Structures are given as structure tokens and as C-alpha cells.
Structure 1
């Protein structure tokens, strides 16, 4: 008899097209200081077929509803260029001991009044999402980080970015 769980029962996998409650809370744009350190990987495939990763923090992610996600990217970022070309990217992250991989279709959001950041705002709709966990191991974190000496300035910038994402998302839904 094996000490390993059977493969059929080891992996719990759920497919979704709406954000689970824990993820909506993570991406709700509030309490950014308490969510500092969280990192999501935005995965794109460039024209040469190479997978590229951009790391995003909670100050660059906002879910205005149960099926969408807004992001803020620098215009010179590879991800911004690739998404402009093909409108697709995947987001991966760990939340509450579960690994998430979400395929999204992206469109640009208009800028907002008073925003001089130069950031590109995009809204993605969930094409399909997968949540995976295993019973025999607990994911304790994904990629994480600590803010350095400029942490307050970063949090201030994130607060502004989230406000701009909220305004752009609200304008797009009207």
C-alpha cells in the first residue's frame, strides 16, 4: 500500500468564470497596506512565441465586478505591447492556499481626468479561470516582496492608481 494519495483524489481543481469571494476581496482596491507583498504574474506570449512574465502588486489590480479585472501597466512594458497586439494574457497567483490561473481577454480603458501618471489602463474579462489545490500540501504563498525605504511613496502611488482604475472602470460601464 502506498503512502501517497491517489492521483484522482490528490488534486482539487475548480473552473470558474466569476471571481471567488476571497479573490474579489484581494482585488477590491481597499486596505492596500495590509495586502502589500502580494504578487501576481501576468503571462503573455510575444510574437516569437516566448512566454513573458510581468509581476503586479495589489496597487495595479482592481476587480470592479465579479467577471472583470482592471490593471495598470507602464506603456513601455512588454505586457502592454503584447496585450495591445493580441488582447490576451493570463494571470497567476496564490490566494488562501489555492493556486489560480485565469485567462483574460483585454481591452483598453480610457484615461481619467487629472491622471498624469502615463500608465496604460486595461480591463480584462475572465475567459476561464482555474483554482487548484492539493490535500497533502498547503500553499503558504506565491511570489512575495517587501517594500523598501520608499514604501510610503509606493503605497501613495498605488492608492492613486487604484482610484484611477476605479474611475476608468466606472466610465467604461456606462
Structure 2
């Protein structure tokens, strides 16, 4: 047996086009105070053709159904500007001992005048990868400091806005 076939056998890969139940629960907009350390990388393509990464947390992500994730961003951010042009993005993160990469088709959500740029990403394809010889224990994580309660309250408002915006999209 070769080393490469050992590696191939050690890799577990799940492909999906709908959120697995445990992930949908993570992005359901509830109990944010228990999910504050979670961080995902949102990868977008800027106007110059460069890949850019923005970090988003559970207060900026909401899954209104099994195939969608809504994203709330500051309107002046690079990611918001890139997504406003439409197209695609990728969301990558560590969850449940696996590395996830989710390819998204993006559309802008209606503006409700709350100072956020909101988008809906439909899952094109998602992958979860695990290896048998090691367990991923975290990706990029953080702890809220200082004004943590203020941040949590803002996140709760953002999630409520995403819920409203997601409900305004035909077909949902």
C-alpha cells in the first residue's frame, strides 16, 4: 500500500447541497450568546480579480431554509462591495471536527434602512472534510471583550433584519 492510498483512505469527505441539520441549527439566529466564538471566512472576488477574505460570525449569518444562508455586512466593507456586484462567494469554517467549504450563488436582499448590506447565498455545493488521524478542534475563533453585551444586542437586531429580508424574497 502506498502513502498516497493511505492518505486517500484517511480522508472522509461529505458533499451536500443543503445544510446538514447541525449546521442549520448553528445558523438559526437563536442563542447567539452560546455561539459567540464561531468565525467563518467569507471569500469574495473584488473588482480587480483578487480573492478577499472577510471574517463573519454568527451575528452576521442566518439560514432561513435548508439551502440558503443570509449574510449581513457593513455596507462600506470590501465584501459588501464585491457581493453587490453579484456572482459567487465561498464560506469556509471549522465545525464539528471538520473543515467546511460552501460555494454560494449570491443575490442582494432588499434594504430595510438599518445600515447593513444584506445578501442571500444559495448553496451551490458544500463539502465537509475530516481525516481519521486528527480532529480539527477549531479554526479562527474569538472572544467578545469590553462591550460584549452591546455586540450581542446588535447581532440579535441584525439576525431579525436578516429574517425579515429573507422572508421578502419570492419563493421562500
Give 1:111 shift.
Answer: 2.7
- Aligned partner of 2:51 in structure 1 is 51
CA contact (8 A) 1:105 1:125 kept: yes
Aligned length: 171
CA contact (8 A) 2:60 2:72 kept: yes
Task: Name the Cα RMSD after superposition.
Answer: 1.8
How far apart, in 1, do the equivalents of 2:100 and 2:53 lie? 15
TM-score with structure 1 setting the length: 0.92
Task: Give secondary structure in 1 for the equivalent of 2:168.
Answer: helix
- Structure 1 gaps, min length 5: none
- Aligned partner of 1:143 in structure 2 is 140
Give 1:102 shift.
Answer: 0.4
Runs of 4 or more off by more than 2 Å in structure 1? 1-5
Task: Give secondary structure in 2 for the equivalent of 1:6.
Answer: helix
How far apart, in 1, do the equivalents of 2:86 and 2:19 lie? 23
CA contact (8 A) 2:86 2:108 kept: no
Give 1:173 shift.
Answer: 3.9
CA contact (8 A) 1:22 1:95 kept: no
TM-score with structure 2 setting the length: 0.93
- Structure 2 gaps, min length 5: none
How far apart, in 2, do the equivalents of 1:26 and 1:5 lie? 34
How far apart, in 2, do the equivalents of 1:173 and 1:97 lie? 35
